[in-house]
Amino acid sequence: MKKLVYVTLFVFLLVSAGCANMSKKTKCLLTTVAGTSAIGASWGGGTTNGNTATGALIGAGAGALIGGAIGLAICKGDVDTDGDGVPDHLDNCPNTPPGCSVDENGCATDTDGDGVKDCVDKCPNTPKDCDVDANGCAKDTDGDGVKDCIDKCPNTPKDCPVDENGCATDTDGDGVPDCIDKCKGTPPNTKVDENGCPPVGEELLILTGINFAFDSAKLDKPSETIIERAVQNLKRNPQMRVLIEGHTDSVGPEDYNMGLSIRRAQAVKDYIVSQGIAKERLSKKGFGESQPLESNDTKEGRAQNRRVEFVVTAK
């Protein structure tokens, strides 16, 4: 009992000295204990027969025990576990990170609504509904700077420039981004490999509307303009070699049409070479009327069958 009384008196001295390092809860509790101890000491000293000092000590000890119980109840409201200035019993967000400003409910702001408080959010403008890590940053799997949750092209090759949707430029529309396309300017609907180049044996171009003088292999000016498409494509892809195929409709003898298709394929080759394409990159072959695209029974069908095709032979 004496030990308890001594401890109580020591606590009283600490409270009286106003120890600056105590928490609010501790000061509240010790103040309550000290007060009830003093009251108990006064009461004990006055009611004990013959030994005022002993009575005071006994009363102080009893008062301390009662004060401790009372203090635990009345000082509870001062607890602020996360140190945000809002007592736990009023704090709706009891685990606020240190240093965060909070509202009257003890909750820190989260401007982008990603579940990570602004004061610790390293990516404060995360798009809505993105999954984020502990730092508030959303995933960007392909590293293109556009978050996965809004990236419409999530597997963009590394270092490709992209638009706001995370999609790289694909000028020729072949499904291969310009940044890795080794055959830029591939004609529409051309089958290509992972490098954007037509496979060997694949048609690169089918040109119709190429006209020659009657019974001649001489190109007219409008036809040269059409063939310019092939010239530009070959210039963009200097590694490519092609076979120039000549085709005719079925008007006239078959043998004659075969020879005519060869001469016309040669005329196209000569024109392309005159535009600066090395002749070693070009070969020719005539098919006559043997491979029609449409029926030769109509004017329109025959026009489609009179054509020149470019087929990739090397790339």
For residues 137-161, average pLDDT: 88
Please indicate, yes or no, if residue 162 is contained in any of the structural domains.
Answer: no
Residue 100 has pLDDT above 80, yes or no: yes
The CATH number covering residue 264 comes to: 3.30.1330.60
Res. 17 pLDDT band, cuts 50 70 90: very low
Res. 283 pLDDT band, cuts 50 70 90: very high
Please indicate, yes or no, if residue 142 is contained in any of the structural domains.
Answer: no
Q: Check residue 70 and give its pLDDT.
A: 57
Final residue of a domain: which of 78, 100, 115? 78
For residues 5-13, average pLDDT: 49
Please indicate, yes or no, if residue 261 is contained in any of the structural domains.
Answer: yes
Residue that the structure tokens 């007219």 belong to: 220
Residue 4 has pLDDT above 80, yes or no: no
Final residue of a domain: which of 78, 104, 129? 78
For residues 120-141, average pLDDT: 86
For residues 135-141, average pLDDT: 87
Residue 292 has pLDDT above 90, yes or no: yes
Nearest C-alpha neighbor of 275 from the set 309, 230, 216, 212? 230
Residue 314 has pLDDT above 60, yes or no: yes
Residues 211-223 pLDDT 10s = 765 566 778 888 8
Please indicate, yes or no, if residue 39 is contained in any of the structural domains.
Answer: yes
User: Residue 22 belongs to what domain range?
Assistant: 2-78
- Does residue 83 contact residue 97 with C-beta atoms inside 8 Å? no
Please indicate, yes or no, if residue 55 is contained in any of the structural domains.
Answer: yes
Please indicate, yes or no, if residue 161 is contained in any of the structural domains.
Answer: no
> Domains in the chain: how many in total?
2
Res. 37 pLDDT band, cuts 50 70 90: low
Residue 189 has pLDDT above 50, yes or no: yes
Please indicate, yes or no, if residue 98 is contained in any of the structural domains.
Answer: no
Q: Check residue 71 and give its pLDDT.
A: 52
Most confident of 36-40, 60-64, 291-295: 291-295
Quote the mean pLDDT of the chain. Answer: 79
Q: Which range has the worst mean pLDDT, 69-83, 186-200, 236-250, 285-299?
A: 69-83
Q: Higher pLDDT residue, 89 or 179?
A: 179
Residue 129 has pLDDT above 70, yes or no: yes
Q: Check residue 290 and give its pLDDT.
A: 95
Final residue of a domain: which of 20, 50, 78? 78
For residues 149-169, average pLDDT: 89
Please indicate, yes or no, if residue 175 is contained in any of the structural domains.
Answer: no
Residue 36 has pLDDT above 80, yes or no: no
Q: Check residue 21 and give its pLDDT.
A: 47
Q: Check residue 65 and give its pLDDT.
A: 57
Cα(138)–Cα(148) distance, integer angstroms: 7
Res. 20 pLDDT band, cuts 50 70 90: very low
- The arrangement of strands across the sheet holding 203-208 comes to 203-208, 307-314, 241-247, 282-286
